[in-house]
Amino acid sequence: MSKLKLTGKELRTIGFPEGPVISVAMNVMQKKYKHQKKEDVMELLQKILAAPVEYENDAVLGLIAEQLLPKKEVDGAEISLNQNGIAFNVFGQEHIEEGAMHQMYQAAKLPISVAGALMPDAHSGYGLPIGGVLATENAVIPYGVGVDIGCRMCLSLFDINPKELVDKENYFAREINEATLFGSGQQFDHAENHEVMENELFFQLPLLKKLHGRVWKQLGSSGSGNHFAEFGVVEIAEKDAVLGVEAGNYVGFLTHSGSRALGANIANHYTKIAISKRRLPQEAKNLAWLNLDEEEGMEYWLAMNLAGDYASACHHVIHAKIAKQLGRKPMTMVENHHNFAWKEKWEGKDVIVHRKGATPAGKDVLGIIPGSMTADGFIVKGKGESAAVNSASHGAGRKMSRTRAIASVTDKQFKDELKKFGVKLLGGGLDESPFAYKDINVVMQSQKALVDVVGKFTPKIVKMDGAKHRSWKKDKREVLAGE
């Protein structure tokens, strides 16, 4: 195998800034990863660029991360955590790993924390756990939102007999393949037109201005990790006044993805600023916040909302392509963010509600909670449960890390499972196999007090990133999509 060779131009292309970091990155990767595939190395470099704080303690990759982090801490005393944090409710606690519980306890001790909850699909993340909900006073935590800002679900419902998914399987598979691109860093040759790209922030904030061309060419793409596009059968048992669809079986087109390079760069940039401004104990470092009455906090808030609008536009571009090819207008669309922060009222108080891997579930608010590539997903209607800060889970939740899934699931087991459920998979890998996820039915049972189920989605044709996934040496190097 030939040795790895990198160029400064290649690193700049994926977003590395001018400066010593380029030569450091080239030297580290060519020396320590010299026998790895170039595509794997470039993907790892993108992850370090997106979230360097996760790699700063790594013996090898920390050399690169150090160059991307602030060079000095702000003067002043370290901010102390409250000895007794705010109380928070946990749903499905018996199914939640200790690491996620510990992270939520840390978040509950922040002096800005007002209310919190942990969803039944929760697992460890960076900063706030995935499945964590935290309400704060006049402050936003970039890592309380996550790296993939605006990661979301979108479902189009078509009045088509689901039998066609079997009879015309190749047709529907082709339409998914042509509707979007999957994979880290993927871009279209020709950019789609959409008003979101004309937002004035792209021309006012230097960070966004330099990203404009790249993210425009990513508009309508879907990323990697647990992101997907799939056709399936939607079953509506009885008509719901809010959903407004008659009882019956329909064809559904469901997508899951976020804001791509735009969100990752915003998260990275403002996390560095937050960490430099708020000196927290090491174990809570990734929970650093920005106040909404300071310039950086206002900037992040505007940029975060733009990333959310961009993520929504990506889904709408994909769904418009599918609708055009099917020659049908959707009967309805259901969509929701699950990596975002909202200004809301909680017990009469103005708060910022972070939902990192959690679905908004205010009274009569519709949302989508997916299972896995073989498990049912659900159209839900929120009950507005204050104990959950008006939230629900964002999916089944992982029970295996990517590394463990790759190591413990065989190709035969994977293929047999797909065959058992009659699912045609386009792309995908062992790291996203159904065995890596919790039982969605157990998760839904744990949140009966939070949402009503108004429809069920059963996957039949699933498209995911087709890249070969390597097994990183340490789980802590993993940056899960949806984070």
CATH number assigned to the domain comprising residue 165: 3.90.1860.10
pTM summary value: 0.83
Q: Are residues 220 and 330 both part of a single domain?
A: yes
pLDDT of residue 71: 60
pLDDT of residue 468: 52
Q: Domain span at residue 363? A: 152-477
8 A C-beta contact, residue 126 and residue 30: no
Q: Are residues 264 and 364 both part of a single domain?
A: yes
Q: Are residues 37 and 161 both part of a single domain?
A: no
d(CA 189, CA 198): 19
8 A C-beta contact, residue 132 and residue 88: no
Is 140 inside a domain boundary? no
d(CA 307, CA 290): 17
8 A C-beta contact, residue 446 and residue 89: no
Q: Are residues 290 and 171 both part of a single domain?
A: yes
Q: Across the strands, what pairs with 322? A: none
Is 327 inside a domain boundary? yes
Q: Are residues 23 and 167 both part of a single domain?
A: no
Q: How many domains does the chain have?
A: 2
Q: Are residues 55 and 159 both part of a single domain?
A: no
Measured CA to CA in angstroms, residue 72 lies from 172, 185, 188, 281, 307 at distances of: 54, 31, 39, 16, 28
Q: Are residues 198 and 300 both part of a single domain?
A: yes
Judged against a pLDDT cut of 80, whether residue 369 lies above it is answered with: yes
Is 440 inside a domain boundary? yes
8 A C-beta contact, residue 356 and residue 128: yes
Is 130 inside a domain boundary? no
The domain boundary, picked from 68, 88, 104, lies at 68
In this prediction, residue 467 has a pLDDT band, given cuts at 50, 70 and 90, of low
Is 265 inside a domain boundary? yes
Tokens of 354: 């972070």
Is 138 inside a domain boundary? no
Judged against a pLDDT cut of 70, whether residue 465 lies above it is answered with: yes
Cβ neighbours of residue 300 under 8 Å, at least 6 residues apart? 140, 142, 266, 270, 273, 290
The domain boundary, picked from 23, 53, 68, lies at 68
Q: Which of 373, 379, 375 is nearest to 392 (CA)?
A: 379
Tokens of 418: 């797909």
* Count of CB atoms situated within 10 Å of the CB of 213: 12
Q: Are residues 182 and 279 both part of a single domain?
A: yes
Q: Are residues 162 and 35 both part of a single domain?
A: no
Judged against a pLDDT cut of 90, whether residue 112 lies above it is answered with: yes
Is 13 inside a domain boundary? yes
Judged against a pLDDT cut of 60, whether residue 389 lies above it is answered with: yes
Angle at 22 between CA 16 and CA 23, to 5 degrees: 175
Q: Are residues 156 and 274 both part of a single domain?
A: yes
In this prediction, residue 17 has a pLDDT band, given cuts at 50, 70 and 90, of confident
8 A C-beta contact, residue 307 and residue 146: no
| pLDDT tens digits along 316-347 | 999 999 999 999 999 999 999 999 999 999 99
The domain boundary, picked from 68, 89, 104, lies at 68
- Three-state DSSP at 427 gives coil
Q: Are residues 34 and 160 both part of a single domain?
A: no
Is 459 inside a domain boundary? yes
Q: Are residues 52 and 171 both part of a single domain?
A: no
